[in-house]
Structure 1
């Protein structure tokens, strides 16, 4: 086993991160195209409807985001330990679970949709547009969740260029379909939803081709090769479900946090909600770009955990954090300097543009404020410490809601200040548990040494 910290260089980190950065930067492009397709029509109600509908879809789909996160950590650890058969088995399990959950969601479309719109505020016209968008998006659920698993598997193996290809194909397909359905057929919010759903199926087809080339066989052939005994091995499944259970709770807590944030904007009216949605595109770009280094940390930390190497773990954390901080500074400056121009590009309705420009500074500072929480997420996901992620997310969400209620007299300003506080709560909760993670790695290495010595 090679324990030398120098085995991970800045060049290696950047080589792994830049495809993720491009791919992640292009993910908000889906939301940006969706927003611009409606925003350029000048219909504030339709834009607010897509904003509200996108919040509902995020809440439902990303409840199962563990299919991406858990897959990355588990695959990286299996790869770091040299367990090729388990790497293949994880891909098969992930695809099967993702597709099954997606089919179940599609079957439950009506009750889930109606429950969502019973919970979230919005005027009659906004809710009507949002309901049309959500209905179409659900038809892409099986593909979307299976793609989560494929992406997580690729990240875990460090195959970031392949993941970039997958993401770019989906984003290009989404743009083409949106333009065709919204401007060509005049379908409005439902056209945006349908375009994204079809793009998710295109992405799944692309992903299956990619993983077949990497694994040397398709998922069906891999399942036959592994056999039911290995795929259903009790300890592996128990670990998979334990990690995914905690990640699922963590994801639900964070989705509720951002759903509360969206609903806080909805309480202020359609113009405020539409402006907030425009500004959230900046936040999404920041989160997804900085996630490039968080995802690199996931893979590198996971490999270090699999190899039980404390030096590799610490170096992975330090190098990925250095790159992340530099990127956060550049993003904040870019948003501050070019934000007004970007807002004008996205939205044409004057009231929406004026409101978004007024609160741009709050969104521009999110890269710096959110950086610690995003990086710590990557570290804990790679280490598959789901319980720590779960506890920090629950605490952060509860504290955020209390903060939002306290700041409600400040209106939209209070909504953004509460969001800033949420990132701080989450980072603090994870940072407090970091010493235990490092000491746990030392203990695992010591136990392994004793076993070999005995």
Structure 2
């Protein structure tokens, strides 16, 4: 970021209140999402090992198919927030509707592919002969909910851009409760087995999409925004999302490479890696909540032609990211004797995970900077730079990680490569923020 005088204390307090008001509900909504899979696993697990194994394969495939389109939320947030800053709520909601129509089109396309290729995909992921039928059944049914899931992403982006993170929290919590109740009733009450779990998820996701659409449609009617599909707007939304799609795919590749390398190190190491990665992802939710606040706040400042406000907000959110990272690291360090026994009773796995957990603790302040600046640049609509920066990060990480087993390194060495990955991300994002080239004001970038 370019140097500027620090904002006065009263301004910082206002900024802090805004960050907290946006970030806390966002964190709750983010945490609610993985609880869907946890609830499904808890309910299906009592059906048998084959059913649980099938759910494990299918849920990973389903989550991947949806998460690669997370740009529907990110790009929509930035576009809507700019229009909000410019005081044009009508066009803000209209642009958000373009994102929802794009989500519907993508959802129908992905659902069609999954329905016809589910057995092949399940087989490619190495499901056993006993688990494969259950995985295929779950995947085919749950694929019917993919359009709703993508609509939820786009609608969440609209509300975040409108500086509203409370409604997504309420909808996420209601969706989780409905999912759990429906799963229990359909799996056991109706005797549908794993198919009941899939139908419960589809119904819950459709209910969430309906709730979001109700809120968005009301807002559109209030401000006179058209609800009809606009080909030009949909294409523009898709173009804005392509760089963020590249960024997301690069990040997914990094995580897949790390897991593949850990698997080559042995059963104990891959088990420890999965434990640490699960905790790392949980910590990421807290940091990502600040990043979401950053997307909304930065987009609004830039849309209002308030370049200095964007700089000040960026600076303050970086401070929040560092402080939150330090706090989370200290929390994990203090709780580590209690955390590991929650995941495993194997002393060898605990011993392997403990030093890696220390590495994660030390790097949390770096993660805080990365997540916040990632959100700032997304809010600024700087997707092209984010895509190139992530590709560079992948190019640095991949050889470092793949050399770990070749050179006889262990799990700590692999997570040292993960730390290198985060440092590279931090440097690329920090250099961009310092340059000020991300600061492009106006209702559109």
What range is the shorter-chain TM-score in?
A: 0.7 to 0.9
Q: Is 1:260 matched up with 2:257?
A: yes
Q: How much does 1:150 deviate?
A: 0.6
Q: How much does 1:148 deviate?
A: 0.3
Which string of whole-angstrom CA distances, capped at 9 and with x for unpartnered residues, describes residues 329-369 of structure 1? 23223333335545555x5x744x86267415535526444
Q: Is 1:94 matched up with 2:74?
A: no
Which string of whole-angstrom CA distances, capped at 9 and with x for unpartnered residues, describes residues 145-172 of structure 1? 0000010111111111112112212222
Indicate the larger mover: 156-165 or 200-209: 200-209
Q: How much does 1:273 deviate?
A: 5.3
Q: For 2:339 and 2:39, how far apart are their aligned partners in 1?
A: 13
**Which of the residues 385, 397, 400 maps onto 2:397?**
400
Q: Is the 8 A contact 1:286 1:331 kept in 2?
A: yes
Q: Is 1:28 matched up with 2:38?
A: no
Q: Is 1:286 matched up with 2:292?
A: no
Which string of whole-angstrom CA distances, capped at 9 and with x for unpartnered residues, describes residues 301-346 of structure 1? 111221222211111112222222222223223333335545555x
Q: How much does 1:300 deviate?
A: 0.9
Q: For 1:84 and 1:259, how far apart are their aligned partners in 2?
A: 40
> Equivalent residue of 1:410, what SS?
coil
Q: Is 1:319 matched up with 2:316?
A: yes
Which string of whole-angstrom CA distances, capped at 9 and with x for unpartnered residues, describes residues 27-57 of structure 1? 33334434555678895x8766655544433
Change (3 A) 1:145 1:271: farther
* Residue in structure 1 matched with residue 349 of structure 2 by the alignment: 355
Q: Is 1:377 matched up with 2:374?
A: yes
Q: For 2:173 and 2:183, how far apart are their aligned partners in 1?
A: 15
* Residue in structure 1 matched with residue 146 of structure 2 by the alignment: 141
Change (3 A) 1:407 1:223: same
Indicate the larger mover: 239-248 or 186-195: 186-195
Q: How much does 1:292 deviate?
A: 1.3
Q: For 1:158 and 1:186, how far apart are their aligned partners in 2?
A: 43
Aligned pairs, how many? 429
Q: Is 1:73 matched up with 2:78?
A: yes
> Equivalent residue of 2:87, what SS?
coil
Q: Is 1:223 matched up with 2:226?
A: yes
Q: Is the 8 A contact 1:243 1:386 kept in 2?
A: yes
Map residues 55-454 of structure 1 onto 2, 5 A cutoff. 55-110=60-115, 113=118, 116-117=121-122, 120=125, 131=136, 133-180=138-185, 193-216=198-221, 222-223=225-226, 231-232=230-231, 234=232, 236=233, 239-267=236-264, 276-339=273-336, 341-342=338-339, 344-345=341-342, 350-351=345-346, 355=349, 358-359=352-353, 362-363=356-357, 364-365=360-361, 367-408=364-405, 409-436=408-435, 438-439=436-437, 441=439
Q: For 2:419 and 2:42, how far apart are their aligned partners in 1?
A: 26
Q: For 2:189 and 2:383, how far apart are their aligned partners in 1?
A: 45
Q: For 2:312 and 2:409, how far apart are their aligned partners in 1?
A: 43
Structure 1 gaps, min length 5: 449-454
Computed over aligned residues only, the root mean square deviation of the Cα atoms, in angstroms, reads: 3.6
Change (3 A) 1:244 1:47: same
Change (3 A) 1:172 1:274: farther
Indicate the larger mover: 406-415 or 121-130: 121-130
Q: For 2:46 and 2:354, how far apart are their aligned partners in 1?
A: 20
> Equivalent residue of 1:223, what SS?
coil
Q: For 1:267 and 1:50, how far apart are their aligned partners in 2?
A: 24
> Equivalent residue of 2:68, what SS?
helix
Q: For 1:124 and 1:410, how far apart are their aligned partners in 2?
A: 35
Q: For 2:258 and 2:423, how far apart are their aligned partners in 1?
A: 15
Change (3 A) 1:85 1:290: same
Map residues 40-59 of structure 1 onto 2, 5 A cutoff. 43=49, 50-59=55-64
Q: Is the 8 A contact 2:80 2:92 kept in 1?
A: yes
Which string of whole-angstrom CA distances, capped at 9 and with x for unpartnered residues, describes residues 369-399 of structure 1? 4222211210111011110111112122232
Q: Is the 8 A contact 2:103 2:151 kept in 1?
A: yes
Q: For 1:177 and 1:72, how far apart are their aligned partners in 2?
A: 31
Q: Is the 8 A contact 1:27 1:288 kept in 2?
A: no
Q: Give the structure with the larger helix fraction.
A: 1
Q: Is the 8 A contact 2:86 2:304 kept in 1?
A: yes
